[in-house]
Structures are given as C-alpha cells and as structure tokens.
Amino acid sequence: MLKPKLIVDGKRLDGRAFDELRPIKIEADVLKRADGSCYIEMGKNKVLAAVYGPRELHPRHLQDPSKAIIRYRYNMAAFSVEERRRPGPDRRSIEISKVSKEVFEAVIMKELFPRSAIDIFVEVLQADAGSRAAGINAASVALIDAGIPVKGIVTSVAVAKVDGQLVLDPMKEEDYYGEADLPIAFLIRNGKIESITLLQMDGRMTKDEIKRVIELAKKGVMEIYRLQRDAIMRKFMVEEDEG
Ligand code: UDP
C-alpha cells in the first residue's frame, strides 16, 4: 500500500498536535486473584498487567539466595490486532519481555526478597502501536498495587519521526509508515525523572533529533506519570474510606 500523508495542515491524522499524547485511562487493582494489577488504555491500546509475588520460587535450583528473580511476560492476545495472531510467544514478544524485565530489575528492591520470584504478566487485549510502553506503565502501577517496594514509578512512551517531524506517542499508522520509532522508559522518583531504563529504536534519526526526542518523551512521561500516581492514590483512598 502507498504511504499516506501522515501530517496534514500541521496536524496528525487523528488531529493531535506533535507533542500530544493519545487519551489515557488507568485503573489499579482490577483483578482479585493477582497480588497487584492494573488496566490501561493509551489511545486504542488496551492492556492488562498482573503481578504475583514475592513468592517462593520453584523449582528451587532457580532460586537466588541474594535476591528475588523477576520474570516478565508480554503477550498479545490472538484478537489484539487486525490479522489474527498465532497464540504463544514469537521473537518480538520474547524480546519485549526481556527488555521490559530488565526495566523492572533496575527498579524493584529485589534484595529484600531472597529465593523469591516476582512475576509480571502483561496481556495486550488490543494493540495500536506503543503496546510495550502501555505494558510497562501498567506493570509499574500493578507492582505498587501489589505492595512491592520499588525505587520509583516507571513511565514509558514512544516518539516517532513521521514526514520528517518528531511526534509523541505514535499510533499504528505513524508507527507503520513513519521513518523511525523510539520507545523509551524513565524511572521517576519523587516527581523527578531520575534515569532512562529502556531505549530502543528502529529507523534512522540524527544526533540532534535524538536529543529532541528525549525532551519530547520527557514531557509525555510526566503527563502519564501523574495519571499513574492518581490511579494508585484512588485505589488507596477507597480502601481508607471503606476501612
Ligand atoms: N502489530 C501487529 N501484529 C504483530 C505485532 C505488532 O499488528 O504481530 C502491530 C500492533 O498494533 C503493534 C504495532 O504493530 O502495537 C507496533 O508494533 P511494535 O513492534 O512497534 O511494538 P509496540 O509499538 O506495540 O510496542
């Protein structure tokens, strides 16, 4: 198919400004069986995260006597994309699971839980580009919902280059037809961005563009971070009222 024009009259195909996120909804504690959970919508992405643990790791030979083992499974439901996906892990989801696991390795206080496992499950129910970022954002809230000690909140977003222009939080068409796509995650501590915990890119950008991408992403994640924090606050406030 011919590449459509992605920017028309200075606006994106869905009417957004270049630095505008898609609408976001976040709800913590949506699954009763999990220790922690979160549901997130970022534009048309719909993603659930469930956290189990810390719990004793079996088989025992996989245990680490000095810290908890973190496991992260990113999975796309067969019905999450237009063309039915074959169920089960593929190269892409294995890679996303690996890099996302590394994000949380750096954030969870895993030394507090020797010989344990902390399992993070991310199920993409509907995908529209940016699903790994949505998964990370949901997982971060679910971990806090589970009461697992963390160094801060992890917040993720992608930035793309489309028709020569840098745009925040690309949707499917922008991801697909754009010149570059760069998902990034930050650790935010006490309301301040502390470090980058994930940075991937496909396509091509100049050094100067990369700098601008990071600035654009920082603006985006601070907005998402406030919504993550609100979701956590709402959960704990309700509990207090009920008590
Ligand atoms: N996608 C798809 N089928 C696949 C994998 C991806 O239709 O098997 C779509 C889906 O909408 C996804 C988008 O392509 O969100 C972009 O995928 P990418 O690998 O860039 O990951 P994401 O942006 O979702 O983190």
- The answer to whether residue 3 sits within a structural domain is no
pLDDT tens figures, 85-115:
888 899 999 999 999 999 999 999 999 999 9
- The answer to whether residue 208 sits within a structural domain is yes
Cβ of 43 less than 6 Å from ligand 1: no
Give me ligand 1 centre to Cα 116, in Å.
Answer: 32
pLDDT of 185 above 60: yes
- Going by pLDDT thresholds of 50, 70 and 90, the confidence category of residue 241 is low
- Asked whether 130 and 42 are in contact (CB, 8 A), the reply is yes
Cβ of 41 less than 6 Å from ligand 1: no
CATH, residue 195: 3.30.230.70
Amino acid at residue number 153? I
Cβ of 100 less than 6 Å from ligand 1: no
Within 10 A of 149 (CB to CB), how many other CB atoms are there?
Answer: 14
pLDDT tens figures, 46-86:
999 999 999 999 999 999 999 999 999 999 999 999 988 88
- Nearest residue (by CA) to ligand 1, atom 8, is 85
- The answer to whether residue 108 sits within a structural domain is yes
Strand-pair partners of 67: 64
Give me ligand 1 centre to Cα 92, in Å.
Answer: 9
Give me ligand 1 centre to Cα 21, in Å.
Answer: 18
pLDDT of 125 above 90: yes
Q: What was the pLDDT predicted at 237?
A: 83
pLDDT of 215 above 70: yes
Q: Left, alpha or beta for 8 (phi > 0: left; psi -120 to 50: alpha)? A: beta
**Residue with tokens 């009763």, as numbered in its chain:** 32
**Residue with tokens 């220790």, as numbered in its chain:** 35
pLDDT of 5 above 70: yes
Q: How many domains does the chain contain in total?
A: 1
Distance CA 133, CA 181 (A): 12
Distance CA 33, CA 36 (A): 8
- The answer to whether residue 135 sits within a structural domain is yes
Distance CA 142, CA 233 (A): 13
- The answer to whether residue 52 sits within a structural domain is yes
Q: What was the pLDDT predicted at 3?
A: 86
Q: What is the mean pLDDT of residues 26-37?
A: 98
Between strands 69-76 and 116-126, the pairing is parallel
Nearest to 202 by CA among 171, 154, 156, 158: 158
- Going by pLDDT thresholds of 50, 70 and 90, the confidence category of residue 14 is very high
- The answer to whether residue 230 sits within a structural domain is yes
pLDDT of 240 above 90: no
User: In percent, how much of the chain has pLDDT > 70?
Assistant: 97
- The answer to whether residue 243 sits within a structural domain is no
Structural domain boundaries, residue 213: 13-84+94-236
Distance CA 37, CA 121 (A): 9
The 3-state secondary structure of 13-68, one letter per residue: CCCCCCCCCCCEEEEECCCCCCCEEEEEEECCEEEEEEEEEEEECCCHHHCECCEC
- The answer to whether residue 2 sits within a structural domain is no
pTM confidence score? 0.96
Coil vs helix vs strand at 162: strand
